[in-house]
Amino acid sequence: MSYARTSLKGVMYYDSRRAYNGLTLFTPVEGRGAWLIDMLGRTLNCWQTPYAPGCDGRLLPTGSLLYAAKIPDGPLSDLEGAGGILMELDWDGKVIWKYEDPYLHDSFCRLGNGNTMVLRWVEVPQEIASKVIGGDPGTERDGIMWGDAIREITPSGKVAWEWIAHEHLNPEGNIGCLVCPRSEWTHLNACEVLEDDNILASFMKTNTIAIIEKKTGNIKWQWGPGELAHQHSPTMLDNGNILVFDNGFHPYGFPWGFSRVLEVEPKTKAMVWAYGGREATTEFYSATMSNCQRLPNRNTLICEGNTGRIFEVDLKGKLVWEFSNNLPSDKPYPAQIRSHMVYSAYRYGMDYPGLKKV
């Protein structure tokens, strides 16, 4: 808790000439659902569930919320990002679809055909786990190293496609973070299905973002080690570049304490745009969670998860909108020591089909 920081709340900065007009959806860590606010921070809708987020929440074109919920006593609920239920709630909060799998975590992607791509934990077989480099020795979770799988599930809950990371990743080439525990190898935290059906994925513990070829399961492209440090939310832009939130947590070299949002050109692997970095040391930093989104007016929406701060910058990095999470916590703390953290935030323009009801 800090008096200096907890006192500032809501929308503290808004340049209506430059910010991208729309509604912002976000999932506060100490909440039980998702909130939709306008540019002045007023709540236009909120969806309440019995579950804390685990972790992402997205507004679908139908106006429904697709929400990853965290089950209270899941088998791996001590691991960051644990979920367990994927639920779809209509605009009025009624649950219209549910998919349960206690090993679900982090994020998902709803496809145009109604299927959903989800992330789940699977055990890494001992013969492979013993070859994985990285992490403190002996810190496996009850002797097990957990890996990742991506599953495409139909509305009726059937598995239409599956990709298991340890069947395609080489232990020697995918080095886990040197100071993280060996309870996990890769920790996938994002899967975005691209126009060509391939999947843009984020392997957080091995500091790699990659494109997985759906047909073969091969990794078509990858980048990250040496630059990224526990990144989140890589997303494909219209110009073919990839935007990614580089947390800068457990960084290579002297830890100056900064995060960055990077735009990378896949062909050349050059970083063609960045927000944050050295010039924002201590100013902009979130060790875990967080995400970034490029907006139609070329601004970028950034969620600095650990501080509960969602803000928008233009191409020059100038601030045009800033919101500090001011929602009440669901935890039974005294009021002043609640956590403000937000997993992720997305902006939807007023012409988004899902906002027709507003």
User: Total residues contacting other proteins (rule CB under 8 A)?
Assistant: 57
Which string of x and - marks every residue 204-243 that binds other proteins (by CB under 8 A)? -x------------------------x-------------
Q: Which one among 149, 287, 295, 358 touches other proteins, defined by CB under 8 A?
A: 287
280/283 Cα distance (integer angstroms): 5
Q: Which one among 250, 297, 352, 358 touches other proteins, defined by CB under 8 A?
A: 250
Q: Which one among 118, 165, 210, 280 touches other proteins, defined by CB under 8 A?
A: 280
- How many beta carbons lie within 10 A of that of residue 238, not counting itself? 7
Q: Is residue 180 left, alpha or beta, with left meaning phi > 0 and alpha meaning psi from -120 to 50?
A: beta
Q: Is 189 in the site for other proteins (CB under 8 A)?
A: no
The minimum distance between CB 144 and other proteins, in angstroms, equals: 16
The minimum distance between CB 296 and other proteins, in angstroms, equals: 22
Q: Which one among 73, 282, 316, 335 touches other proteins, defined by CB under 8 A?
A: 282
Please, where are the H alpha helices in the chain? 3-6, 126-129
Q: Is 160 in the site for other proteins (CB under 8 A)?
A: no
DSSP states along 22-66: EEEEEEETTSSEEEEE-TTS-EEEEEE-SSEEEEEEEE-TTSPEE
11/40 Cα distance (integer angstroms): 6
Q: Is residue 103 left, alpha or beta, with left meaning phi > 0 and alpha meaning psi from -120 to 50?
A: alpha
300/279 Cα distance (integer angstroms): 18
Residue written as token pair 């495409």: 152
Q: Please tell me whether residue 252 adopts helix, strand or coil conformation.
A: coil
Options 46-54, 195-203, 238-246, 281-289: segment touching other proteins (CB under 8 A) = 281-289
Q: Is 279 in the site for other proteins (CB under 8 A)?
A: yes
Options 53-61, 89-97, 173-181, 216-224: segment touching other proteins (CB under 8 A) = 173-181
State the amino acid at position 143 in one-letter form: G
Q: Which one among 189, 231, 235, 288 touches other proteins, defined by CB under 8 A?
A: 288
Q: Is 16 in the site for other proteins (CB under 8 A)?
A: yes
168 burial via Cβ count (<10 Å: 0-12, 13-18, 19+): middle
Q: Is 320 in the site for other proteins (CB under 8 A)?
A: no
Summarize as ranges the residues that interact with other proteins (CB under 8 A).
1-8, 10-17, 40, 80, 136, 177-181, 205, 230, 249-257, 278-288, 306-307, 309, 311, 319, 322, 324, 333, 337, 339, 341
